[in-house]
Amino acid sequence: MDTATRTYAPGEYPDEKPPIGQSGFLHWVYTNLFSSPFNIILTLLTGYFLYKIVPPAFNWLFVDAVFVADSREHCRELNSGACWGFIGKRFGQFTYGFYPHELRWRVNLTFLLFIAAVLPILWGNMPKRREMLWFSALFPFIGIWLLCGGFGLEPVETSKWGGFMLTMVIGVTGIAVSLPLGILLALGRQSDLHIIRWVCTGFIEFIRGVPLITLLFVASTMLNYFLPPGSNFDLLLRVLIMVVLFSAAYLAEVVRGGLQAIPKGQVEAADAMGLKYWQSMRLVVLPQALKISIPGIVNTFIGLFKDSTLVVIIGLLDPLGIGRASLSDTKWQGLSTEVYVFIALFFFICCFSMSRYSIYLEKKLHTGHRED
């Protein structure tokens, strides 16, 4: 029977191709770039600026760049582009700081174990995920032992940590510890117990009202005045505590917004089923609230990761500190552009990866109506 004359029941209509000119690349170009006189002018101006900016930048970064050199003058003798030879010479310091060269295998091993520990957390369909989660729970203790030493390993002072290693330690620790603390603060702010609610509210409002750099200065200088004479409180540990508290206060507000978006009927249904408070929160409320809060949570994580560069103000040598120290060498003076571009690329890769994973997680947890 001809499809033109066939009678179809509701819901049985065959899929048909879209009309010619209503799909494909040319349709997208017309709709998004040339759909109106204003869009045409804006597209042409944007294309002109990209033509003027992108080719010279590409030539400076790659085509005319020098990747192997012994000094800035040597780079200029070879070519006129970026002097990436400086990055190659100082790559070890950018990565490990002043961590002893013969012990850097411990940092490399810690990074590999970190990847193994975080995979079962981020990948829900990982084979033998339940067994690997036990390793994820033990990894913080293993990582501290490998990086700091002790118990059979040579101790390494945290003052020798630096570069991307220090940034990863601050960022990962802040993210991993501040999330559960922020959830507890959000629940405490909505608690029916007045004392708990007042304490959580006061803490959140105080931390959110003070810049992070001020808290870092408090951690590095003023905290010593409140400790007994002769006390030695590691500077990096103080910084980690302040970073965790700062991030937890912001995460608490993000999670609280997710909790307020949950209909009251969800809590009432949990109560009707006989679930206790923590059971209803763990099984019913929090999973929905955290799913709603994913964009805000990841945004806070990205901000925390970038703010880790503030530790250079109090004397810790993050990648910016290593770059400044390296540029003090007379052989490499005047290469600050290469340093900042290299560091910016590192942060872009890390933050972009977190952003893409959050999008993947949102799509995976989406339970609403979806048109396929």
- Of 313, 281, 290, 127, which is closest to residue 211 (Cα–Cα)? 313
Q: pLDDT of the chain along its 372 residues, tens only? A: 455 556 655 555 566 666 655 667 888 888 888 888 999 999 999 999 999 999 999 999 999 999 999 999 999 899 989 999 999 999 999 999 999 999 999 999 999 999 999 999 888 788 888 888 999 999 999 999 999 999 899 999 999 999 999 999 999 999 999 999 999 999 999 998 999 999 999 999 999 999 999 999 888 887 777 777 767 788 999 999 999 999 999 999 999 999 999 998 888 888 888 899 899 999 999 999 999 999 999 999 999 999 999 999 898 999 999 998 888 888 898 899 999 999 999 999 999 999 999 999 888 887 654 443
Q: Which residues contact 256 (CB under 8 A, 6 or more apart)?
A: 186, 189, 190
Nearest one of 240, 252, 116 to 168, comparing CA atoms: 240
Query: What residue type is assigned to position 17 of the chain?
Result: K
Closest Cα to residue 339, out of 48, 92, 84?
84
DSSP secondary-structure letter at 372?
Answer: -
The Cα–Cα gap between 324 and 309 comes to 13
pLDDT, position 74: 92
CA–CA gap between residue 261 and residue 293 (Å, rounded): 10
**Residue 297 φ/ψ, nearest 5 degrees:** -65, -45
User: In Å, what is the CA distance from 10 to each residue of 7, 13, 181?
Assistant: 10, 7, 53
* Contact between residue 111 and residue 164 where contact means Cβ atoms under 8 Å apart: no
Topology annotation, domain 85-99+156-365: MetI-like fold (1.10.3720)
The answer to whether 216 touches 314, Cβ cutoff 8 Å, is yes
Residue 239 makes CB contacts below 8 A (sequence gap 6+) with: 170, 216, 219, 220, 311, 314, 316
The DSSP element (H or E) to which 301 belongs, if any, is helix 294-307
- pLDDT computed for residue 16 by the predictor: 64
Residue 259 CB-density burial (10 A; 0-12 exposed, 13-18 middle, 19+ buried): buried
* Integer Rg of the chain from CA: 27
Phi/psi for 318 (5° steps) reads -75, -175
Query: DSSP letter string over 105-133?
Result: HHHHHHHHHHHHHHHHHH-TT-TTHHHHH
Counting every residue written for the chain, the total comes to 372
Q: What does the domain layout of the chain look like in residue ranges?
A: 25-63, 85-99+156-365
Q: Which pLDDT belongs to residue 369? A: 44
Report how far apart, in Å, the C-alpha atoms of 156 and of each of 107, 159, 308 are: 11, 8, 21
Nearest CA to 167 out of 277, 71, 309, 304 is that of 309
| pLDDT reported for residue 129 | 84
The pLDDT value recorded for residue 20 is 56
